[in-house]
Structure 1
Amino acid sequence: MNPFRHLLKAAGAHPPVGTWVVSSNALAAEALGHAGFDWAVLDLEHTTTDLGDLVHLLQAVGNTRMVPVVRLPWNEPVMVKRVLDAGALTVMFPFVQNAEEARRAVAATRYPPEGVRGVMGLSRATRYGTATQALRHANQSVGVIVQIETREALDELEAIATVPGVDAVFVGPADLSASLGHLGEPAHPQVMELLARAVDRCKALGRPVGTMGASAELVAQYRAMGFDFVGVGSDLGLMMRGAQAALSALRTQDTTIVHSVTAGTLTR
C-alpha cells in the first residue's frame, strides 16, 4: 500500500501531524523525522530545492518513520515523471482548479494504458532495476494529493475530489485567503468558514482532506474542524520562531538585569 494512504488509514481518531521542508537541507529533514512528525512535504514549488536536492531529502527521510510527500512545482507531466523516478511515492499537485486538471495530474503518475508516465527501468524508483515488480505495481503504489487553493476550485470540490486516482484533497489557507481578498490572513473568519465547509463536503464524499497552519494554536482549530491530516509550520519557520523566542527571552533578561543594577538591587 502507498505509505501515505496507510498513514491515513491507521490514524484513527488522531489526525497525522506533518510539516514542510523548505530549506532543501537533508539534515534538517532527517531531524524533523526523528522529532516525531508523521509526514512532511518536501516542497519544490516555493523553494530552491531541485531534483538533486530532492534525492538527498528522500534518502534522509528514509532513515526515519516520517512519510514524505513531494509537492510539485506545477501540474506538468515531465516534472512528475522525474520526481517519481527519483523515488517519490506520494505527490502533491498545487493549484488544481477543476476535474480536468485533476485527471491530468493522475494520468501523469500512471504508466500506460492508464496514464502517460514515461517508462524508465533503471531509476531510483525501481532500486536501479533490482525491484523487478516495481513497474507492475507502480500505478497502484503512487499516491496523489490535489491542492484546492481558490474560491473557484472550492466551487468544483466534489468534481475534483471524486476523480479516480485522487487519494486526498489539501485545502491551502494562504492562497485561499488571497483569492478571497484577505492576503496574509489565513485565519480570517470567511476563510475559516470555507475550510469548515470543505471538511464537511469531503466527509460526505469519503475523501480525506488536509490543511496546514503556521502555529499549533491555529492547527488545533483545524483539527477541531475535522481535518484528516494537518501540517504545522516548516523547518525554517520552526527554527526562526525558536531563535526569535530565545533571543527575546535573553534580551528581556538583559533588560531586567540592567534595571536591577541601575536601581541598586542586584545581589551577588
Structure 2
Amino acid sequence: MALWGSIINALAIMVGGLLGSLVLPRIPEGIRNTVMQGLGIAIAVLGITMALKSENFLIVIISIAVGGILGEVMRIEYRLNQLGHWVESQFRREEKTGPTNRGGIAEGFVTATLIYCIGAMAILGSIDSGLRHNHDILYTKSMLDGISAVILSSTLGIGVTLSAVPVFLYQGTIALTSTLFTLFISEADLSAVITEVTAVGGVLIIGIGLNILHIKNINVANLLPSIVIAAVIVLAELSLH
C-alpha cells in the first residue's frame, strides 16, 4: 500500500502533538526556550547538509530565485497563514486564542507543516513508498516527527497536531504520483532530480531554522515553488543530453 508510510507519519505527528499540547503544556519557559533554540540550530545544520548535496549549485540558485518570485506572486505565505488563522478561529468557541499570539494555532500549524513537509526524508520516503512500497524511510521519519511534535506542541500549541493533515496530503500525493514516474523517467534521471530537489529543500530548511531562532523572519512558504522549479530544470537539462 503506497500510502501506509504517510498514514503512520501523520498518526505519529498527531499523537506527539496531542501529548505535547495537552499533557506537557506547562514545561518551564526556560526549558522550552532552550529546547527550541537547540531544535532551531539542529534544523539549520540539517538544511546545510542537505544543500551541500547539490551537484550543480547554480540550479539551486536559479530555483530559489524563480521560485521566490512565483511564491510572492501567489502569496503562499499569506494564504497558508490565513488557513491557519481560519482553523484557529474554529477553536475560539472553546478557547479564545489571538491570531498574533506566538503560541497560537496558526503559528504552530504553519511552522510544523513546513518542518515536516520540506526535507529529504519526506521526499525520498514518499517516493520509496510509491515506487517500491518500502516504508522504512517514512517509519524513521515518523519517529523523529513524533518526538519533535511533543516539543513543538508544548511551545506552539495544538496547531502542530493539525499539521498532520497537510503532511499526509503532501507525502501521499508524492507517493501516488511517483508510481507513474517509472513510465516516463529512468532511475538515473529520477536520482538526479531528487539530488537537486533535496538541495533546494535544504536551503528552505535553513530558513526555517533561522525563523525558529528568531534571527531573521524569512518567508519560507513563498520559496516552496523552488522545489518544483528545481525538478523542472533538471528534467529539462537531462532532455538536452
TM-score (norm 1): 0.25
Greater share of strand: 1
TM-score (norm 2): 0.27
Greater share of helix: 2
| Greater C-alpha radius of gyration | 1
Higher relative contact order, chain-length normalized (CA < 8 Å, sep 6+):
2
